[in-house]
Homo-oligomer: A and B are copies of this chain.
Amino acid sequence: MFEHDADEPVLVLTEEQCWSLLERTKHGRLATAVGGAVDIFPVNFGLLEKCIYLRTAPGEKLAALTVHDSVAFEADGILSDEAWSVVVHGNAHQLQTSAEIELARSSGVSPWIPTAKESWVKIEVKHISGRHFRLGEQPETY
């Protein structure tokens, strides 16, 4: 799936490859900035029609989104000899209507812990990019 040019350790992924990797992944990280204070949250997520859905308990994650809806999101996968990372930039907002929430439920979000979490967040993706890495030794530069 990931054909690097000869000796190139990094492959810039197509949007299609990025989405394909996200579809096979359940766990990512959401970064928010409120008043210049950057924060980062581990999240489980689901995908539906190229939007990212998170189910979360009320708390600072949602408070951040209320104030500033521009977010970044990252997911990655690391194996012994390869790694990939996909980064998304977009706008996030809390879902309000039962119709929206019903739709979000079908995105397949599976939260980590067995507590009732009824707040839903949707990230509308403005930009998606990703890279695939052939892992190797760092040359020393002393």
- Chain A positions near chain B (C-beta within 8 angstroms): 9-10, 27, 29, 31-33, 36-42, 55, 68, 70-74, 76, 78, 83, 85, 87, 89, 110-118, 133-139, 141
Instruction: A118 to B136: give the CA distance in the assembly, Å.
Output: 16
Closest CB in chain B relative to A136 CB, distance in Å: 4
Q: Is the CB–CB distance between A139 and B114 below 8 Å?
A: yes
Instruction: Kindly report how many copies of this chain are found in the complex they form together.
Output: 2
Closest CB in chain B relative to A75 CB, distance in Å: 9
Q: Is the CB–CB distance between B112 and A135 below 8 Å?
A: yes
- Which residue of the partner chain B has the closest CB to A88? B40
SS class of chain A's interface: helix, strand, loop or mixed? Answer: strand
Please name 8 pairs of A and B residues whose Cβ atoms are closer than 8 Å in the assembled complex, sorted by A.
Answer: A10-B113, A29-B40, A36-B36, A36-B68, A38-B71, A110-B138, A113-B133, A114-B138
Q: Is the CB–CB distance between A112 and B133 below 8 Å?
A: yes
* Known pairs A83-B112, A118-B141 / 16 extra A-B pairs, C-beta < 8 Å: A27-B76, A29-B31, A29-B40, A29-B76, A31-B31, A33-B36, A36-B68, A40-B72, A42-B74, A42-B87, A55-B138, A110-B138, A112-B135, A115-B138, A115-B139, A117-B138
